[in-house]
Amino acid sequence: MTSNHDERHVPVMLRRCLELLAPALTRPGAVVVDCTLGLGGHSEALLDAFPEVRLIALDRDPDALKLAGERLARYGDRATLVHAVYDELPRVLAGTGTPRVQGVLFDLGVSSMQLDEAARGFAYARDAPLDMRMDQSRGVSAAEVLNTYPPGELVRILRTYGEEKQARRIVEAVVRERDREPFDSSARLVDLIRDALPQAAKRTGGNPAKRTFQALRIEVNGELAVLERALPAAVDALAVDGRIAVLSYHSLEDRLVKQVLAAGAATTAPPGLPVVPERYQPRLELLTRGAELPTEEEVARNRRAAPARLRGARRIREVAPA
């Protein structure tokens, strides 16, 4: 089972992630946090590339933790794997006695395993139970969201998280159908979306269900709210000269990453000060100009890399007490 996962799991923009983090990870005692362990591809590469580094890796999916644990077992106590959502980073670091770290990596979105396991219900290309929870032991499923949320709330979710222009039309069809019979399978939802959309909307942007599935997944897992808490916590956890690299896969994630890193790289001084005091100085230096994209060769090898956007930053100072 593990070998199948390993063969199909190709870490996205791996070389560039390692390059961005490398200057911080070559010093003795360096600790790197992989906030999104998944199947462990990035973590394995970090442990191989930096033989002195110690890894702390988080994932909310118990199945991913088990498979990655098998993959990383040969590194012994250099790798500490924790069942946690990445906004729990401060608690995890406190629990491992690690107040500051030299590197943090986020590879956001859905892991290869979650997409490839039909029973998880993430993929719109095959029929499966409408679940979409990254941790199936807690929270509401996508089916519960579709069957119980008020129509106005469903429209908001599809518009905000899926950037779906036809949200109202899709939700009207969902409400009509759920009254007849509750939703439980992805294929029925895909068919409904196809039937609900006007012809022009079906001709652009790939599978017409893609945006709705993205929106449901983000809602079910609270992804944007979690990311909003996790990014500032990760920046706070960086030691001076520590580095952060973040891979995102849609514009909502990337916008959040851009905002947090740009805010850290800006002065917080009131305008007009002739000399900017230390406490107002930027605490981050941006390492990427805008978002970096995967190469054409990488996309040809791994189609899941296509939407990836990579941003990085370096911690350049402590925050002086006010």
Give the residue ranges of the annotated binding site for S-adenosyl-L-methionine.
40-42, 59, 86, 107, 114
> What is the C-alpha separation between 296 and 165, in angstroms, rounded?
29
List residues bridging with 277 in a β-sheet.
Answer: none
Q: Which helix (H) or strand (E) holds 140?
A: none
Helices 167-180 and 186-196 cross at an angle (nearest 10°) of 130
Task: Give the Å distances, CA to CA, from 320 to 88, 100, 115, 232, 278.
Answer: 25, 16, 44, 17, 7
Tokens at residue 281, please?
A: 């100085």
* CA pair distance 107, 321, nearest whole angstrom: 32
d(CA 85, CA 168): 32
* Residue type at 130 in one-letter notation: L
User: Could you write out the DSSP letters of every residue in 29-92?
Assistant: T-EEEES--TTSHHHHHHHHH-TT-EEEEEES-HHHHHHHHHHHGGGGGGEEEEE--GGGHHHH
Cβ(38)–Cβ(68) below 8 Å: yes
Instruction: Point out the annotated binding site.
Output: 40-42, 59, 86, 107, 114
